[in-house]
A and B are shown apart, each in its own frame.
Chain A
């Protein structure tokens, strides 16, 4: 008996030694930031729609602006929340939502901050699912609006507004989308302002006002100028993509070639972590090449999205749609059929799947 106690004690002691050696920090809130690979750690002491205030263990309070926040890992949050967020980021929305549901039933999710953030995460994943064509836009809209009711002062506010705008736009509610994007453009940061304006230009494009949209995108590009800040550059790229979209809409060889030139610039400059911009740039490149009759190159452009940026769900669906026809044109009808099949099964609600017909 004594031996067994001694053994148990030894194990505990040994584990303590191991854990002490491996554990690097105490459990505290962690703010994952866009601008740094190291999270800002400490106690979150204030939350507003403009950001968070973190009190680190040592040193002064740190104000993290909302436009720099990727995610927050709350002190004491259920461990499963990390996995759920990972699935969300990887566009595995169904899995993410299931995990969020699990997390919600965990008593560790009871603290107000975690609960509120969880509500947003659910709304975000629902919106992601809907925009990707695997969920319903109405549900997404309802959840985002519900969050805005309670989270108007949350650091997630502008992100939520942006998402709601996108959902409205996807649903064809142009005016409502415009309202959300105008709110986004009122954010205090240049990149968010540009994002709001670009999004408004996209609404114009959706309304078939290609010339007005082109001018609006050009204004955003000019506004971004040569600002080297990553977030601003990212928005400039988004505006260039919008501009390319307008050029494609205007049709004609000259327009396509001009768009290709702009897109080449984006692809050369953009960081490979900016997957959203990269994915859309390849899509637009594919469009231009396809319309110019350069099918092989178009296939390659769309394949970039399929192979490298499948997590950008809505764009992945679009790429599959085009691959569904282009593969045949380059002599691979079986791959065309496979792409169409994947579009139907992976994104059944997507407008691209609907375009395929039955």
Chain B
């Protein structure tokens, strides 16, 4: 049969003439279209019937036993039998077997994709709900395309094309069905339009087929001798059948097109009349064949829908009285009965009693399973209508009326329990009937009603979300967005209320699946309302308790719990609560990964986990990102982010003091992984981004990250190529038309653009291409120099700091030769720059900062002093020529203190403590609350102490009141107060507090080292020990970045005291602090936008935005696919909150600025000031 489908199709059609034998309705063989109204649908089911198992076992042996010539029909018959029984899954499994089998002939294998399509098509026809039908039709369409493409000349190719048309028609019916549902009344037109589009597409295919088949049929002679020309006769018969079918398909298209218009409208009437004419023509021509009978039935339907009830009834009577008793005829007659009941319920007939009697009789003859079929539900629905109408008849007694309405209500409950096109209407009818029974609108009185209504409301959430999202995307007026948002919130509240009502009405016999689903919906609604705790509780509970039949729901619920924990993590007002959320995230993620390791959700979980770890545990973030499978939609992004996080882990680890640093081979491995993943991510993204399309921001960020790695490995040529070369050049991407108007976020953000330019400059200097370096310098100057006020100083200072860190890393990695090379290259370039006579403020500050960076990176004391001397010269020049360099007095006033602070820093490094002291005292007395000044002042006293003046250590710790110098101890307390005040910058202050405390410890240790008196030495170490232990007892969490340093210091203290060495972790374990409940002053999430000057963890800003949308997309897809759930993913918001990676280096104090306890709300909303922008995270390419 498989390779002779066309013949069998014909024989079936022809055998059906005059109902002469049993016919089966099989899509592939006899693709008689069955309208949903009369479709004898069965549920798509998976029934492990013993007979089937026996057949299953039998078939492979049959296949293997038979030669290719005889085996075909048996395989086909078996497949057909499976489809007829509705065992579509088994049919697909059987096709899998055939595909794998080595004994199956090639001609059979060739049509497997066709058979798969037919199986999906048939399953789609029998599926009861639109949501089930559509994917099945889509898959059928896919396999048909595959078949036609692979076998364009195959005998079945034409049929495959026709099938495609039928699928489109099937999809159109789904849309029509949706348009007729009361729950879709709001967007009926959209559904109708979509349906019309499908019908027109189907018609195009059918028309082509029609012309082709007509031509083929007409090519045969009119007269043929059936006996003498039997072969030709058969061929003509087949051609005629195809032609006949093509006419029928076209007529159906006309009918369906009519359905895409409102009943009674002009286009509807015109199309329905035309359809009636077309069906009549078919019936006239083929009245003795099955197809002719179908055409007749649809002709009747066209009359009925145009309210020509008598004509319709006449046709139905004729068909119901047809003498045939075959299965096909019974199917037709069942369908006709339904149509007839519709007529009897019509205003013209009002024969309600007959409807009730006929339908009751019909239903009583069906099994319980048959009663759940859409056809049976249709008949029951007509009964409901009749009962309701009869109850409304004036002469009906009150008692009968109540009984009729009660019976109708019971039937409605039954109808709405099973999937069919009557589900929604029955649900709405239930409310109407209840009102009629109780006399007023009442709340649902049973779980089914309440849950049905809640389900309906639930479905509409998506539409609200989409509407709101579309308005936001289109940047509609705020008022409009607010209205939409309010409507959505109200809808969510109404849905939640109805779900609550349903759950209150749960009874002992309520199906567990329904109860679970109601709770699942509730979890989703809570999530939409941003009630993360509630969503997490329900999600987690369902994921653990949902029955085995609801595995998908369990997984979706776990995903909701996960997403809720993540959101709660972001919203956490304190570090401790964030830590608690992280524990919940980890436990939920572990459960998802263990229980559903192969699911798509597992991948999303890894992504979420990675996002949470980003910036805090970069290595874990990187590992999770790198596990995202290659077939994932976000693979390229995940690879890029994995690379960035490996880079970040490497940067973090590289800055840890040598004693507590991870082995170099680990660091090298991370850097190598960073490079591999970044390259992979870049390649993938490039591949999917046409050259003419603007580069995604993540791609640009990835390139900048990679450039940093390449510079670090002295692969300067590659860096230049990466940054400059098209397509998607970084230099082009960061360019703007007006330098004074750079955006605050994205790759065009000034900080990010400066970094990219600096990397280019760095590479050109490394290549000793001084002219190109000069050009890069000009680019940098153009970008950074256009910053406002002191932000310029800060930008250049950060660039200098980068250089220092690079030198530190190279030295730590033992690459002394490279250090020398870098120093030489920079010296050469700086010397050239210094010779310029046209120095601007920007060039001078860059020279100064770069020398400062070199000075900090230099190992040799004399060389360092020279570098700092050059830096100080440049700073001095700026101060001396300030009026000339900066004409704007206000701007100048803001800039100069920062330059003076930098000069003090240089003098300190040069050992000119007195001069530095003078500068610092002036700054401290004028700006006592400027944190950077206080840090520099304490650092100065500490360095002074280290120079042999031990008495200065105390000043470093406790400060000098007369000079308004606080000292490390007071600085730490001041920062603590700022943290406790609930400042938005709490994270930044917290990090600086760790730094201040650490420096205080170092003062003690250094003092002890310097002390000649044993008592003094012990005294200092004991104080240090007591301070660090006290700190551990009142701190619940130690910042992981500072942990190794504190451990090293503690070890040093204990060793100095001759006490047993234990780690701080061990000490904490021994005297574990009890965590007290922290009641935050404000509920708003801390969003530390500023990270300080030397922070290295910032994101591009844009990347954050890109991430948000991308991850939002992923998550929306996950949940929408899984359970109609859309979840907004917002983790990237946290990436902008990354804690500043404040370097331990004493020299990292940024330009002075006053610490602010809290930003006023209006300030928060206003356009970021220059200062605020200066506080933006230092852009790091790895983010």
Q: Which residues of A line the B interface, CB within 8 A?
A: 4, 7-8, 10-12, 14-15, 17-19, 21-22, 32, 37, 70, 86, 90, 92, 253, 272, 292-297, 299-300, 303-304, 307-308, 326, 328-333
Contact = CB atoms under 8 A, between A and B. Distances in A.
A332 B533 CA distance: 11
Contacts of A70: 508
Nearest to A290: B1077
A90 B1076 contact: no
- Give the 5 A-B CB pairs with smallest separation, nearest first: A293-B1075, A296-B580, A329-B1077, A331-B573, A272-B545
B764 to A, nearest CB: 50
Say what secondary structure dominates the interface of chain A: helix
B577 interface: yes
Given A296-B580, A297-B584, A332-B1083, 19 more contacts: A11-B390, A14-B356, A15-B403, A15-B407, A18-B356, A18-B360, A19-B403, A22-B407, A90-B504, A293-B1075, A295-B580, A299-B533, A300-B533, A303-B533, A304-B541, A307-B534, A329-B1079, A331-B572, A331-B574
Contacts of B574: 331
B404 A15 contact: yes
Contact of A22 (B356, B410, B540, B1077): B410
Given A329-B1077, A331-B1083, A304 B537 contact: yes
Given A14-B356, A18-B360, A303-B533, A37 B584 contact: no
Contacts of A37: 508-509
Given A272-B545, A330-B577, A32 B508 contact: yes
Contacts of B222: none
A244 B577 CA distance: 25
A299 B564 CA distance: 14
Given A37-B508, A86-B507, A11 B353 contact: yes
B519 A308 contact: yes
Interface string B503-519: 01011110000000001
Contacts of B363: 21
Nearest to A71: B508
A10 B354 CA distance: 10
B397 A294 contact: no
Interface string B452-490: 000000000000000000000000000000000000000
Interface string B1076-1088: 1111100100000
Given A17-B360, A293-B1075, A293-B1076, A8 B397 contact: yes
Contact of B400 (A11, A331, A332): A11
28 contacts: A7-B395, A8-B397, A11-B396, A14-B356, A15-B400, A18-B360, A18-B407, A21-B360, A37-B509, A86-B507, A90-B504, A292-B1075, A293-B1077, A294-B583, A294-B1075, A295-B580, A296-B568, A296-B580, A296-B581, A300-B584, A307-B522, A307-B534, A308-B537, A326-B1077, A329-B1079, A330-B533, A330-B572, A333-B1083
A339 to B, nearest CB: 12
A298 to B, nearest CB: 9
B99 interface: no
A321 to B, nearest CB: 15
Which of B519, B536, B1076, B1079 has most A Cβ within 10 Å? B1079
B151 interface: no
Contacts of A297: 580, 583-584
B817 interface: no
A233 B526 CA distance: 34
Contacts of B397: 8, 11
A284 B1116 CA distance: 36
Contacts of A92: 504
A264 B880 CA distance: 72
Interface in B324-365: 353, 356-357, 360, 363-364
Contacts of B540: 300
A294 B580 contact: yes
Nearest to B408: A18
B692 interface: no
B538 interface: yes
B1074 interface: yes
Nearest to A91: B504
Contacts of B396: 11
B571 interface: yes
A307 B404 contact: no
A296 B1083 contact: no
A308 B583 contact: no
Which of B509, B533, B541, B583 has most A Cβ within 10 Å? B533
Nearest to B1076: A293
A22 to B, nearest CB: 6
Contacts of A304: 537, 541
B1079 A328 contact: yes
B360 A293 contact: no
Contacts of A18: 356, 360, 407
B988 to A, nearest CB: 20
B1077 A295 contact: yes
Contacts of A308: 519, 537-538, 541
A294 B582 CA distance: 12
Interface in B385-443: 390, 395-397, 400, 403-404, 407, 410
A131 B508 CA distance: 23
Contacts of B1074: 293
A10 B573 CA distance: 72
A7 B400 CA distance: 11
Contacts of B571: 331
A300 B577 CA distance: 13
B400 A307 contact: no
A293 B1073 CA distance: 10
Interface in B520-543: 522, 533-534, 536-538, 540-541
Given A14-B356, A21-B363, A300-B533, A307 B538 contact: yes
A300 B561 CA distance: 11
Interface in B596-637: none
Contact of A331 (B410, B536, B541, B1080): B1080
Contact of A307 (B537, B545, B1072): B537
Contacts of A292: 1075
A297 B504 CA distance: 26
A251 to B, nearest CB: 12
Contacts of A14: 353, 356-357, 360
Nearest to B410: A22
A329 B1076 CA distance: 10
A273 to B, nearest CB: 9
Contact of A10 (B353, B506, B507): B353
Nearest to A86: B507
Interface string B914-948: 00000000000000000000000000000000000
Nearest to A323: B533
A332 B1080 CA distance: 9
Contacts of A330: 533, 572, 577
A86 B509 CA distance: 12
A333 B572 CA distance: 13
A109 B1074 CA distance: 61
A300 B508 contact: no
Nearest to B353: A10
A12 B400 contact: yes
A303 B534 contact: yes
Nearest to A330: B577
A296 B538 contact: no
Nearest to B401: A11
Contacts of B504: 90, 92
A346 to B, nearest CB: 14
Contacts of B403: 15, 19
Contacts of A296: 568, 572, 577, 580-581, 584
A64 to B, nearest CB: 16
Given A4-B395, A18-B356, A300 B1079 contact: no
Given A11-B396, A15-B403, A300 B357 contact: no
A14 B404 CA distance: 9
